[in-house]
Amino acid sequence: MSKDFLTFLDYTSQELDALLELTEHLSDAFRTGQLPRYLDGKAVALIWDAEGFRNRVAFELGITAMGGVGVQIPDRLDERESIEDVAAYLNNWFDGIVARTRSHEHMQRLADAARIPVINARTDYNHPCEILGDLAYIRAQRGKVAGLKVAFVGEATNLCHPWFESAARLPIEVVQICPPGYSIDTRLLAELRRDAVGELAVTHDLKQGLKDAHVIYTDCWPTYADAQTYQQLKQLFIPYQITTDCLALADPDVLFLPCPPVHRGEEVSAEVMNAANCRVYEAKDYLLPAQNALLVTLLA
C-alpha cells in the first residue's frame, strides 16, 4: 500500500475495499459515540491554501474525535519557501499531512519530499476524498459497489477524474455525460482503460447515459468571466441540466448526488433538489468516516 493517498490509482481493488469497509465501521462508531482513540499521540499538519469547508471541518473533527491533534499550517505551498523545505520541517513534528492546494504538481512534490503520509484533500485535478466518502455512502445503501453504474454529468473536472479512477480499480461502470469538447482527455481515458477492473465511457447523449444508472452525480458548470461567456456556456450545458424528469430515465432506486456547492438553475433544477432520490446531505455524512479511515490506515 502507498504511504500516501493522492489518487485512487495509489491503491489496489482490495485496499479500496478495505477502506470502504473500515469507513462503515467508523461511521457506526462515530454515531454511537464509541469511536476509538486511534490517533492518540498523533499530530497532523493541515495545509489549506484553497477554498472549501466540508473536507476541512470533517478532517479537524475526525482527528480530534480520535484523540489526535490537527494544526493549521499558515503557509501556501511554493510561495515563500520551497515545497521540499516545508516538507522537511513538517517531518520533524508531525505524523501526517493533509493538504488542499490547487496545483496537483505541488501535491505530488509535497508527497515525494515528505517522509510522513500525505492525504490529498483536493487539487484542481483530483478530489479523491470526496468520491471515497460518496462511494462509502452508496455501498451502505446498496450493500455493495460491484455492478454499480454511475452517470457523471458535467465537464472533466477534479471530481470526474477520481470517478473514472475508481472504475479503473473497482468493478463499477462510470459514464461521463457532457457537451462535445468537455470530455475527459482521450489519452488519459485510454490509459485508465488499459488495466481497468470496471467500465469507463463517455457520451454526449443524456438519455443514453442516464439509462439504468444507479447514481447520478453532477458537478457545476465551467467558470465564466463575463455575461457573454455565461450565455454561451448556458446554451451548451442547459440541455444537460438534471431535472425530476431525468431521474425517471435512470434506475427506479437511483441515488441523485449533486456535488456541492450546488447551483440551482444551472447543473440542477431547483425542484430536483427536493426529490426523494436526492441524497446529497445524507451522503456527505460519510465524508468524515471516510477521511477517518484514511487517517487510521496511514497513521495509526
Return the CATH number at 202.
Answer: 3.40.50.1370
Q: Are 99 and 160 part of one and the same domain?
A: no
Domain assignment present for residue 245? The answer is yes
- The whole-number pLDDT of residue 291 equals 98
To the nearest 10 degrees (0 to 180), the angle between helices 13-31 and 160-169 is 110
87-115: pLDDT as tens digits: 999 999 999 999 999 999 999 999 999 99
The distance in angstroms from the start CA to the end CA of the chain is 14
Let me know whether 84 and 199 are in one domain: no
Residue 182: phi and psi, rounded to 5, are -120, 15
Report helix angle 128-142 to 13-31, nearest 10: 70
Instruction: Tell me whether residue 267 is in a domain.
Output: yes
pLDDT of residue 51: 84
Give me the pLDDT at residue 134, please.
98
Q: 159 in a domain, yes or no?
A: yes
Which domain covers residue 192, as residue numbers? 143-283
User: Is residue 189 domain-shared with residue 123, that is, in the same domain?
Assistant: no
Domain check: are 229 and 245 in the same one? yes
Question: Residue 155's pLDDT is what?
Answer: 97
Considering the domain architecture, whether residues 263 and 291 belong to the same structural domain is answered as no
Q: What is the per-residue pLDDT for 164?
A: 98
Tell me: do 207 and 232 sit in the same domain.
Answer: yes
248 inside domain: yes
Residues in the chain: 300
Q: What is the DSSP string of the chain?
A: --S-BSSGGGS-HHHHHHHHHHHHHHHHHHHTT----TTTT-EEEEEE-S--SHHHHHHHHHHHHTT-EEEE----TTSSS-HHHHHHHHHHH-SEEEEE-S-HHHHHHHHHH-SS-EEEEE-SS--HHHHHHHHHHHHHHHS--TT-EEEEESSS-TTHHHHHHHHHHSS-EEEEE--TT-SPPHHHHHHHHHT-SSEEEEES-HHHHHTT-SEEEE-PPPP-SSHHHHHHHHHHHGGG-B-HHHHTTS-TT-EEEEPSSP-BTTTB-TGGGGSTTB-HHHHHTTHHHHHHHHHHHHH-
Question: Rounded to 5 degrees, what are φ and ψ at 250?
Answer: -95, -170
What is the pLDDT at residue 111?
Answer: 98
The answer to the question of residue 111 being in a domain is: yes
**Within a domain: residue 257?**
yes
Q: Is residue 110 part of a domain?
A: yes
Instruction: Locate 172 and state its grid cell.
Output: 463499477
Same domain, 109 and 154: no
Is the distance from CB of 164 to CB of 201 less than 8 angstroms?
no
166 and 243, same domain (yes or no): yes
- Supply the pLDDT for residue 128: 98
Looking at the structure, tell me whether residues 109 and 241 fall in a common domain.
no
Residue 264 belongs to some domain of the structure: yes
Name which of 13, 16, 9, 53 is nearest 297 in CA terms. 16
Under-50 pLDDT residues of the chain: none
Domain count, the chain: 2
Residue 202 and residue 80 in one domain = no
Residues 260 and 148 in one domain: yes
Interior/surface letters 210-236, b for 16+ CB within 10 angstroms, e for the rest: beebbbbbbbbbeeeeeeeeeeebeeb
Nearest to 134 by CA among 18, 7, 285: 285
- Residue 97 and residue 70 in one domain: yes
pLDDT digits (tens, 9 = 90+) for 172-223: 999 999 999 999 999 999 999 999 999 999 999 999 999 999 999 999 999 8
